Amino acid sequence: MNPIYLTEKDYERLHSLVQVQRQNGGASAVEGLCKELKRAKVIASEEVPVDVVTMNSFVRLKDLKTGNVMEITVVYPKDADLSARKVSILAPLATAILGCKVGDEVEWPAPQGMVSYKVEEILY
Task: Give the residue with greater pLDDT, 45 vs 81.
Answer: 81
pLDDT digits (tens, 9 = 90+) for 40-56: 889 998 998 899 999 99
- The answer, as to whether pTM is greater than 0.95, is no
Tell me the C-alpha to C-alpha distance, in Å, between residue 9 and each of 15, 28, 73, 86, 106: 10, 24, 18, 20, 24
Weakest-pLDDT range from 32-36, 68-72, 117-121: 32-36
Range of the domain at 8: 4-122
Query: For residue range 14-41, what is the model confidence (pLDDT) as tens digits?
Result: 999 998 888 887 777 788 888 888 888 8
Q: Can you tell me the distance from the alpha carbon of 15 to that of 100, in angstroms, rounded to the nearest whole number?
A: 18
Q: How many structural domains comprise the chain?
A: 1
> What CATH number does the domain containing 47 carry?
3.10.50.30
